[in-house]
Structure 1
Amino acid sequence: MADPRRIVIVGTGLGGASAAGALREQGYDGELLLIGEQRHRPYELPALSKGIMLGDTDDPDWVHEESFYAEKNIDLRLGTRVGAVHVNDRTVELDGTTEPWDRLLLATGSTPRRLRVPGADFDNVRRLRRLDDARSLRQELTEGKNLVIVGAGWIGCEVAAAARKHGANVTVIDPLPAPLHRVLGDTVAGVFRTLHESHGVTFRLDVGVVEYLGTDGAATGVRLDDGSEVPADLVLVAVGAEPRTDLAQAAGLALSDDGGVQVDTSLRTSAPDVFAVGDIAAHAHPRYGRRIRVEHWANAKDQGAHVAKNLLGGGEPYIASPYFFSDQYDLGMEFRGLAEPFSDELVVRGDLASREFIAFWLRDGAVQAAMNVNMWDDGDTLQALVDARTRVEPAKLVDADLASLMG
C-alpha cells in the first residue's frame, strides 16, 4: 500500500481534529484537508452540558489552539458541507467542486434524536449538540423558569443540575423507572434519582410525551401519555443521538445493525482506504469479541489519535475500553468498561447513601465495568481491572486493597 499523498478528513469534531493532529505528530507531511459543517474550530463536547451550562465558562475546550491548523499546514474548512463520497473515484464532493483523496477518514459524529410528536417544531423546544446550542440554552436558564427535560440520560441529568443552580424549576420526563436506568440499573440509578430530588428536581417517570402544547409557535406545556400535563416555558429534548451515516451509506459502505458504519479492529471500513471513528464507528472490538459503538468523548478522542497510524499504512487494532465521566451538583463520577446492569452482578465498595463509592459489575466472576463516585484514588487500578477483566471474589472488591487484586 503506497504512502498517501493526500488525506481528507470529513468531520471537524473531536475525532477528526484529533486524527489531524496525530498525523502531523507522527511525521505525515502530505496534504491534509479537514472539512466540517460547523462554523467554530474543533472543540470538545463535555463542556456544553457541564461548564458552559453551569456558567463557569463561555467556551468549550478547544481541540487545538486557533493557530495550530495553519502552523501544521492543515487545510481547515469550516462551514463546508460534503455532499457525497465517491469511493471508486477517490473524491469527496463539495458545493460545486470535488476534492481527491488517497485515504479518507469519516468522523461525522451524531445528531440529537427528535421526538416526533405534535409541537416538535416550536421555537422553545430545543436540543443540545453544538456550542451555539449550549450558549443559547444557558441564557434561558433563569430563576423561576419552568424547564421540562424530556429524557433522563446523561445530558438530561447534567442540564437539570445546571438549571437548578440557576434557580429554574425542573421537571424531567422519561419512560423508564429511574434516571440513567438503562446504563446503571436499579440500584445505582436510584442514587442519581435521590440526588436530583434532593436538589428540587421533579421526575415524571414511566410515562412518555405525546404532544407539546402551545400557541404562537411556542410551547407552554407537555402532555403525557397518562393524560396529565406539565407546564413549560422551555423544553429540552435529550433522548439520545443518531449516528450521521448518510454519507457512508450513500457511498456503499457496510453498516451495522445499530446503524453505525462497520469498521474492523483497526477502524477500517469495508472500503480499504476509508476509515471511520467516533460516534459513527461500529467497531469490531478485540477485547469484547463483538461490534460496539460508543458515543462518548474519550472514544472520539482516542480513536482519532489511534487511527492516524493506520491511515499511514498500519494495521494496529484499537483496544481501549470505553470511558466517560459526569459531574452533577457535588457528585463526580468516572465509568470504565461495558456493563449489562440487569444481568451482571453488582458489587459496591463504599457507601451509596453518602455518594462515595465504587460500583463494580461482574460477569462470571470477571470485572466488566467500574464506576467511581467521589472517590479518586484508584482510577488507574480500576482501569487495569476492567481492561484485564480480572476474575475476583466479590468480597475482595469490597474490602481488599484494590491494587493487590490485579495479579
Structure 2
Amino acid sequence: MLYSLYEAGFYAAAPLRAAALAARDFWSSPLNPARDSEAARRIYAGADLFVNLTRRYGRPAWGIHEVQIDGKPVRVSEETAWSTPWVKLKHFARDPDDLRQAGRSEPEPAVLIVAPLSGHYATLLRGTVQTFLQDHEVYVTDWENARNVPIVEGRFDLHDYIDHIRQMLRAIGPRPHVVAVCQPGPPTLAAAALMAEDAEPSRPASMTFMGSPIDARLSPTVTNKLAEEKPFAWFESNVIYTVPAPYAGVGRRVYPGFVQLAAFMSMNLERHQEAHLQYLQHLMRGDGDSADKHLDFYDEYLSVLDLTEEFYLQTIDQVFQRYLLPKGELEHRGRLVRPELIRDIGLLTVEGENDDISGIGQTQAAHALCAGLPEELKEDYVQPHVGHYGVFNGRRFREEIYPRVRAFIGRTQPAFDKQRRSA
C-alpha cells in the first residue's frame, strides 16, 4: 500500500512541479530583462529547489569516456561482458592504441569491483572505477532495480548473489582480482571460499574488502544496532512492499529504495537540511559552481533502487542478526562455506577510522576467518580521518588507499602470471 501511495504522491505533485519548472525557466531566461534582479534570483532558487526535491531520480549514467594514464589521455568504452536479468557485468575497456601511446603495452591485471546492492546504483563507485582504470582492466557489477525485473524471472536471494559473483569471475577469466565495497564483503568471501575449495581456475588471485561487515558483531554502529534491536518479524512487516503498476516488476515484493533513502537521510537529517539551505543561498547569490557541486552529489545520492524481499531479509537475518559467516555456520546450497580452506588468494582489508556504517574490526575479521592463508598474502590497513564513503572514493582514497591496493594487487599478480605461463 505504501508503494502505491508514494507513486500517487509523485503524480499528484505533477501540476505543482510543472508550474515550478515554468517559473524556473521564465526567471532564468536570458530574454527576461529582470533575470539578474534579487527578486528573480529568489523566485528561481525556490522553484529550482522544489523541482529537485520532487522529481524522479533515475539510474545515473557512468559517463566514463576517457582516463588519464601517465599524463596521456586513453579512451574508454563501456561494454557489457556478461549479464542476467539481475545484473550487467560492465567492462570499461581501454583503447589498446592509446594504451601503447601511454607506454602500457603489457596486459594489466583484471579487477572485478563488486558494487554494493544496498540501495544505491553501482555508479556511486564511478570515482573508484576511474581510479582503478589507471592500472587495471576494470569490471564492475551494475545491479538492476528489482522493480524493473518481471516476476516471471523468479527470485533473487543472497545465495543467488554468491552464485552471480562466481559466474562473473569465471566470465572474466583465470585468476582475476576482486574488490568488494561494503555490503558485498560476506557473499564475496563466501564465493571465493567455495571456488578455492573446488580449485577453480577462475578463483581470485586476490580479494580486497573495503568497509565490509564481515563480522557485524564488532564495533557495532547505529546501522548494526538497528538490525539487532528489531526482531526479524519487524523487518518482514514494516519495510517490505509490493511493486505497483506500471513497473515491469509489478507484483514483486521488495524493500523499496525510497524507504531505504528515508532511513539514510534520517541518520543525518540536519546535515541534509543544511546542505539544501546552502544550495538555495548559492542560487540566490548566483554562485553556480557551488550549486553544481550540490547537484552532482545529490543526483547520485537520491538515485536509489529496490531490493528483492528475499535478498534483503536474508541479509538482515544471516549477516546482521545470526552472523553465520564469522561463526562458521553459513551454508550455501546445502554446503558449508569454509574460508579457512583458502590457501592462495591474497587478502587485503581496508577500513576507515571514522566509518559509521562498518565499524573498525568488522572488515579485519576476514583475516581470522582465512586462517589457512600464509601471512605474506595478508595485509590490513586503516585509513585515518575518513568515514565510510572515504574508504572507496575521494582524495584520500586516490592518494593514500588506492596506491596500497594497487601495490597489493601487483604483489600477488606475478606468481600467478608465472603459473599461467608454465601451465
Do they fold alike, i.e. is TM over 0.5?
no
Higher helix share: 2
Q: TM-score, normalised by structure 1?
A: 0.27
Q: TM-score, normalised by structure 2?
A: 0.26
Higher strand share: 1
Question: Higher relative contact order at CA 8 Å, sep ≥6: structure 1 or structure 2?
Answer: 2
